[in-house]
Amino acid sequence: MRSIERSVLLPYSAAALRALVNDVDRYSEFVPGCKRSSVIDEGSDFMVARLEISGRGMTETIVTRNDLSEEGAIGLSLVSGPFESFNGRWSFSDLGVGCRVGLEVSFRPKNAIVGRLLGPFFPKLVDGLVDAFSRRARDVLVEESSD
């Protein structure tokens, strides 16, 4: 099982950043390698989302169930995709002036071939995901200190 953790400090509220991460339908507009993204199902405390990711000459579809019940976090669990197991967690911690956003992902590819293809690519994808959300936040959100 491989694990990846990444965090960033941003000058926005936790609520605004959580809403940005929950806006799955727009991922293909700004997440590198994301060709399509959509919400398959949703309720008051969950979302099932599909992402079509391309890179290194391959395209994979990942479907996750996103648990929205925990205040300040979004839990991710695998429904289907190229993994034997996959779990993740976005965390949003208000710091008074800004927010610490964290992403933790643990995964195990389904087989050795997928592992060789995803091994070097997937950690870069997770890093790029945090960077993409940071850029997206700067593009669409207003810093609280400028109000």
pLDDT tens column, 56-96:
677 889 999 999 998 889 999 999 988 889 999 999 999 98
Considering the domain boundaries, does residue 146 fall inside one?
A: no
10-52 pLDDT, tens digit each:
999 999 999 999 999 999 999 988 899 999 999 999 999 999 9
- In this prediction, residues 121-126 reach a mean pLDDT of 72
Question: Closest Cα partner for 5 from 79, 89, 66, 80?
Answer: 89
Considering the domain boundaries, does residue 36 fall inside one?
A: yes
Give how far the C-alpha of residue 108 lies from the chain's centroid of Cα atoms, to the nearest Å.
17
Considering the domain boundaries, does residue 106 fall inside one?
A: yes
Considering the domain boundaries, does residue 70 fall inside one?
A: yes
Q: Would you state the pLDDT for residue 145?
A: 44
Per-residue DSSP letter, 53 = E
Q: Give the torsion sign (CA, 81, 31, 19, 23).
A: negative
Considering the domain boundaries, does residue 147 fall inside one?
A: no
- The Cα-based distances of 24 to 10, 20, 41, 96, 143 in angstroms read 20, 8, 12, 27, 22
Q: Would you state the pLDDT for residue 118?
A: 63
- Count the domains in the chain: 1
Considering the domain boundaries, does residue 27 fall inside one?
A: yes
Confidence band, pLDDT 50/70/90 cuts, at residue 146: very low
Share of the chain above pLDDT 70, in %: 89
Considering the domain boundaries, does residue 62 fall inside one?
A: yes
**CA 104/CA 2 separation, integer angstroms:** 11
- The Cα-based distances of 45 to 10, 100, 136 in angstroms read 25, 22, 24
Confidence band, pLDDT 50/70/90 cuts, at residue 147: very low
Domain region containing 112: 2-141
Considering the domain boundaries, does residue 69 fall inside one?
A: yes
Query: What is the CATH classification number for the domain harbouring 117?
Result: 3.30.530.20
